[in-house]
Amino acid sequence: MSSAGALLDVRALTKHFPVHAGIFGRTTGYVHAVDDVSFTVIRGETLSVVGESGCGKSTVGRAILRLTPPTAGEVWLGAQRIDNMHASELRPLRRRMQVVFQDPFSSLNPRMRVREILAEPLTNFGLARGASEIDDRVAALLDKVRLPREAMHRYPHEFSGGQRQRIGIARALAPQPDLIVCDEPVSALDVSVKAQIINLLSQLQDELGLTLLFISHDLAIVEHLTHRVAVMYLGKIVELADRRALFAQAHHPYTRALLSAVPVPDPLAKRQRMILAGDVPSPIEPPSGCRFHTRCPFVFDRCRKEEPLLRVVAERHLSACHLGEAN
Ligand code: SF4
């Protein structure tokens, strides 16, 4: 059974991709994209998964959506375990989980008018029948994403990037899903357009009580949208906390480094910039002990040998770091 009250329950999710070499394609190692990741999302909540490129956050989203099969672990949607479901059992569940992709330019079929794009999920899942019912539903979806109704007669190339992402959001809303995975939905957009799309998602969340898993490389983007934040580094969650606690009192040095790059609105308040040394190590051979130890300014002996486990550091606040731990 899933954890009580959780709409999404991810348990020890692991995804390793084989690395092949040579003319025979021999497996020479594994990319540890996601290692032992666990979290829950309750209905009506937004959980953001944040980390640098290559940390495994998008793979988490893809494994939940079953776009890539997990190597190990469990994924529960309500009372149903979905990670090991057969494709035929999964089909009706597709309605309950939708996705908004990063690139609004390639995620919409250029040969379909907006009406057809939005009608497809409605008819596929038997949610609307007949031209006039479909027209009404498509018009209502365009209203929701603040696009004019005549947009339904146009093709994707006639819209700007931000407008296309609104169409992508409308398509995700069409089958009235329980969960929407937003995979870097604003990273391909201009700064001012990013803010408009984040505001739209925030308004929709209030109006419709959406449950969102929001994947982003940018903590600043999620600050005004999310309820909780999971920070990932090299395939692991290193900190998981309510938004306020995370932004006010981050515990993990990696989270503190990410936060130090987030601009503060008050010109008198300054965050001390924490520059991390070196590059993210290879996920094929992650460092021993704490995976962050090669870049952490607070590293000490134990960090190189012993992996820190996620532990409670304050109410509803978990961190995987030896700092402050009883020896
Ligand atoms: Fe830094 Fe050690 Fe904490 Fe890892 S466990 S984040 S290396 S102090």
pLDDT mean over 109-132: 94
Mean pLDDT of 224-247: 96
* CA-nearest residue, atom 5 of ligand 1: 321
More confident residue, 21 or 16: 16
Separation of 244 CA from ligand 1 center, angstroms? Answer: 23
Nearest-atom index, ligand 1, CA of 302 = 2
CB of 293 within 6 A of ligand 1: the answer is: yes
CA of 287 to the centre of ligand 1 (A): 12
Please state the atom number of ligand 1 nearest to the C-alpha of residue 308.
5
User: Is 233's C-beta closer than 6 angstroms to any atom of ligand 1?
Assistant: no
210-233 pLDDT tens trace: 999 999 999 999 998 999 999 999
Which of 248, 255, 270 minimizes the C-alpha distance to 323?
Answer: 255
Please give the distance, rounded to the nearest whole angstrom, from the Cα atom of residue 223 to the centre of ligand 1: 25
- Ligand 1 center to 324 CA (angstroms): 10
CA of 183 to the centre of ligand 1 (A): 28
Which has more pLDDT, 267 or 154?
Answer: 154
| pLDDT of 1 higher than 60 | no
Mutate to test the pocket of ligand 1, among 295, 299, 302, 306 (most ligand atoms within 8 A of CB): 299
pTM comes to 0.93
Q: Report pLDDT for 4.
A: 64
d(CA 112, CA 116): 6
Indicate the average pLDDT of the chain: 93
Lowest mean pLDDT across 20-24, 69-73, 181-185, 213-217: 20-24
Residue 118 has pLDDT above 70, yes or no: yes
The residue contributing the CA closest to ligand 1 atom 6 is 321
Distance CA 83, CA 121 (A): 23
Answer for the pair 70, 14: CB distance below 8 angstroms, yes or no: yes
Distance CA 246, CA 233 (A): 16
Q: Is the CB of 257 under 6 A from ligand 1?
A: no
Looking at residues 11-23, what average pLDDT do you find?
A: 93
The whole-angstrom separation of Cα 285 and Cα 282 is 6
User: Which pLDDT value is given to residue 105?
Assistant: 78
Confidence check: pLDDT of 185 > 80: yes
What pLDDT does residue 103 have?
Answer: 84
pLDDT at 87 over 90: no
Condensed to tens digits (0 to 9), the pLDDT of residues 130-149 reads 999 999 999 999 999 999 99
Average pLDDT on 144-161 reads 96
Whether 59 shows a pLDDT value over 90: the answer reads: yes
